[in-house]
Amino acid sequence: MHFDEMNLGDYRIYAGALEAPGGYVAAVVVNRLRGVAQAPREAYRDIAMSGGHRWARAEEALRYAMGRGAELVKTQKVAC
């Protein structure tokens, strides 16, 4: 397993590349750091991204997961 994380605005994005038969699958969790009172901390989770697509390298899966998490935060498609 390979992991990376970054802060983006009021959110922290956790990305993962998980070993699977045929390569690596991507996973992402977006947590709220501050903002909405009484809102759940976890704003988004997807541990089966891209319908199970496999990447040959862990770095590729991590890049995809991190990019998708950042896109969700920037377009406000995470739970409020």
Distances (CA, A) of 71 to 1, 28, 34, 37, 49: 23, 12, 19, 23, 14
pLDDT for residue 61: 96
C-alpha closest to that of 32 among 49, 5, 51, 7:
7
Whole-prediction pTM value?
Answer: 0.86
What average pLDDT score do residues 56-73 get? Answer: 96
pLDDT digit string, tens, across residues 1-52? 899 999 999 899 999 999 999 999 999 999 998 877 766 688 999 988 888 7
Q: How many domains does the chain have?
A: 1
pLDDT for residue 67: 96
| Range of the structural domain that residue 40 is part of | 2-74
Q: Is residue 80 part of a domain?
A: no
| Beta pairing partners, 11 | 8, 32
Q: Is residue 42 part of a domain?
A: yes
CB 34 within 8 A of CB 72: no
